[in-house]
Amino acid sequence: MLLLFALALHPPVARAQVGHDPHGSPYRDIRKGHTVTPIGGYFSGDGGQFGIAPHGGSLYGLRYEIRNGSAVQVGLGVARANLERLIVDPFVKVANRVSGPVEQRVTFAELTLQLNLTGGKTWHRLAPFVGSGLGFTFSGTTPADTSGFEFRRKFYFAPSAGVRFFITDRVHLRTEARTIFWKITYPDTFQSEPVEEPGTPPDNSNAVITDGRVSEWTTSSWLQVGLGYSFSF
């Protein structure tokens, strides 16, 4: 009885809970729902071995994403780029073959998949991620290019990595580095001898392409930043 009375007067102190105090934890939940992010950035690369694919210029666009799980989110993206490219004329003298750069506007439309490396939480307001995009490009013709080369519609694959900094639980700053993979196909005229300065194939050919390789996969870099806003219906 004396022991029970003593315990009633002096209850044992609760052991400290394992983990972070919720108010002092560096982790915060990322809001589930929808996110809209205006983006801007820069597109670089060499345009392939002849520099005739679009490269080097600014772009702007919009991303829409939805996150229902703790780590994965999917979305759609569209961007408009004002790029440059060279023109290679296979019909003239070799010394006059390359001209430009000229402007080439390209629209990117893609489906995106993103994996948040910290799951459904931020760490000190940071949320690093990796992702990928699958999409198509749409571009117009370049009247100055009479070689037969057209960029037009291209399928591309875009792995990426980046980080989001959450200013509030709804607003975040997004930075991302991407690599674009796409295939360039050259016209048959690139294998013909120039009318103004024909060579003597196969050893002294003056054709643009002399090894029969009329296509190649190339890569370009795409750096972008955006300001995202999250909301729920």
Long-range contacts of 44-49 (CB under 8 A, 24+ apart): 44/220, 44/221, 44/222, 44/223, 45/180, 45/218, 45/219, 45/220, 45/221, 46/218, 47/85, 47/86, 47/218, 48/184, 48/216, 48/218, 49/216
| Residue-level pLDDT at 140 | 84
pLDDT in tens, 98-156: 999 999 999 999 999 999 999 999 999 999 999 999 999 999 888 899 999 999 899 99
In this prediction, residues 34-59 reach a mean pLDDT of: 96
28-231 fold: Porin (2.40.160)
Q: Give the whole-number percent of the chain exceeding pLDDT 90.
A: 80
Neighbours of 138 (CB within 10 A): 14
Instruction: Identify the residue with better confidence: 75 or 70.
Output: 75
Task: Output phi, psi for 9, to 5 deg.
Answer: -75, -30
Residue 9 predicted with pLDDT over 90: no
Question: What is this structure's pTM?
Answer: 0.85
> H/E element holding 85?
strand 72-88
Domain ranges of the chain: 28-231
